[in-house]
Each structure stands twice: as structure tokens, then as C-alpha cells.
């Protein structure tokens, strides 16, 4: 009875492990050679499974790209939420610090640098998921940060619509600096702080 009951959990854990290993393998190839070097046969070989098994667990090559971006975004969002929590009494400082965390972490992120460098080599497959498509980056970031702001700060004067607008301004401005930097990070952070302070003050009045 115990063996039967535990089997589904073991199977789920093994599938999750396989998925993580496949994403790790794909990330390594992207960071060293670019997305153009990624193919399902190569990833299956690197993981030590058959190509049909990889297709069954991940799906298409595009699904692999989406999963890779989604996992990386999850790591970013966890750090951002933790950063907000470090400023429980000051939402402006929290949002500014969250923007700074994103920019500094992004500047050192090997996957992000590899994806963005593809603009110059023609290897732009992963760019739409990051820059132009509303999902997964923008939409997921908005949902997570709105919830985190409500959890970290009371914000009684901000309606849900106003808070959503404020967070969208923060996210779009930060992503703009992340994807198209034109100066030092300190300058970008100061710009974000200026905009967020004025918008937040106006909305909270």
C-alpha cells in the first residue's frame, strides 16, 4: 500500500528532475554558443535520455525556450520579492531597490547577456519572449509584484487599478534600462527612483 501510494510522488520528482536537467543543459548551450546551437537531439544526448522522452516531457523546441525564460524569470522575481520585504516601511525605497536588484543581477546574468547579444548575430529566437510579447515576462512580473506590494505595504490610498498602473510603470521602465542600457546602472536607478517617487506621491495624495 505504501509503495503504491508513494509511486506517483516518486514519478513526479523524477520528471521534475529530468525537466531541470534539460533546462540546465539548454541554458549551458545558450550561454556558450547561442540559442541557434540548441536542438532537441543535442539536449537529449546531454541529459542522457532519448529524444522522444525529451519531447514528451518538454514539448517542442519553442516550448523549451519558453520554459527556460520562465525559470530564469522565476529566479529574478524571487529576488525582487525578497528585496521589497527588506523595506517594510518604505514602499518607494522598496521599489527603487527592486529596480536596482533587477538591473545589477541582470547585468551579471549569463543567459540574459547571451540572449541580448543575439541581436547582433541574428540569433533572435529568444528575444520576443523577453522584449515584445506581453507574456511571460511582463505579465508574470506584474502579477507577482502587485501581490508582493500588497503583502509588504498597506497602501490604503491606492486602488487596485492605481497600484497596477504604478507597478507597470516600474516594470516597463526597469526592463527598458535592462534590455537597452545607455549608461551606468546608478544613473538608471536614479531615473527609476525619480519617476516612481513622483508617480507614487501623486497617486497617494
Domain boundaries, the chain: 1-59, 69-204
Closest by CA position to 145, among listed 120, 171, 124 = 171
Instruction: Supply 82's cell numbers.
Output: 525578497
- The average pLDDT across 14-35 equals 92
Q: Taking a C-beta distance cutoff of 8 angstroms, is the pair 42, 61 a contact?
A: no
Tell me what the pLDDT averaged over the chain comes to.
86
Rounded Cα distance, 165 and 196, in Å: 11
Rama region for 122: left / alpha / beta (φ>0; ψ in -120 to 50; rest):
left
Domain topology for 1-59: Arc Repressor Mutant, subunit A (1.10.10)
With cut-offs at 50, 70 and 90, classify the pLDDT of residue 137.
confident
Q: Taking a C-beta distance cutoff of 8 angstroms, is the pair 57, 15 a contact?
A: yes
Closest by CA position to 29, among listed 68, 75, 56 = 68
Q: Which residues contact 152 (CB under 8 A, 6 or more apart)?
A: 84, 85, 87, 88, 91, 94
Instruction: State yes or no: pLDDT of 145 exceeds 60.
Output: yes
With cut-offs at 50, 70 and 90, classify the pLDDT of residue 132.
low
Q: Which residues contact 174 (CB under 8 A, 6 or more apart)?
A: 98, 99, 102, 103, 192
Long-range CB contacts for residues 87-92, cutoff 8 Å, separation at least 24: 87/152, 88/152, 88/153, 91/149, 91/152, 91/153, 91/155, 91/200, 92/193, 92/196, 92/197, 92/200
With cut-offs at 50, 70 and 90, classify the pLDDT of residue 126.
low
Amino acid at each position: 500500500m505504501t509503495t503504491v501510494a508513494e509511486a506517483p510522488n516518486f514519478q513526479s520528482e523524477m520528471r521534475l528532475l529530468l525537466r531541470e536537467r534539460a533546462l540546465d543543459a539548454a541554458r549551458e548551450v545558450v550561454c556558450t554558443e547561442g540559442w541557434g546551437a540548441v536542438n532537441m537531439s543535442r539536449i537529449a544526448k546531454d541529459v542522457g535520455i532519448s529524444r522522444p522522452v525529451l519531447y514528451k516531457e518538454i514539448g517542442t523546441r519553442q516550448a523549451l525556450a519558453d520554459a527556460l525564460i520562465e525559470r530564469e524569470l522565476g529566479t529574478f522575481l524571487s529576488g525582487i520579492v525578497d528585496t521589497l520585504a527588506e523595506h517594510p516601511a518604505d514602499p518607494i525605497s522598496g521599489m527603487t531597490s527592486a529596480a536596482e536588484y533587477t538591473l545589477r543581477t541582470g547585468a551579471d546574468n549569463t543567459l540574459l547577456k547571451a540572449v541580448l547579444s543575439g541581436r547582433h548575430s541574428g540569433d533572435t529566437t529568444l528575444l520576443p519572449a523577453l522584449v515584445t510579447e506581453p507574456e511571460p515576462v511582463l505579465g508574470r512580473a506584474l502579477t507577482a509584484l502587485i501581490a508582493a506590494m500588497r503583502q509588504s505595504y498597506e497602501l490604503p490610498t491606492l486602488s487596485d487599478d492605481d497600484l497596477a498602473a504604478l507597478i507597470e510603470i516600474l516594470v516597463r521602465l526597469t526592463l527598458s534600462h535592462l534590455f537597452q542600457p545607455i549608461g551606468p546602472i546608478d544613473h538608471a536607478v536614479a531615473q527609476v527612483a525619480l519617476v516612481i517617487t513622483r508617480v507614487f506621491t501623486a497617486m497617494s495624495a
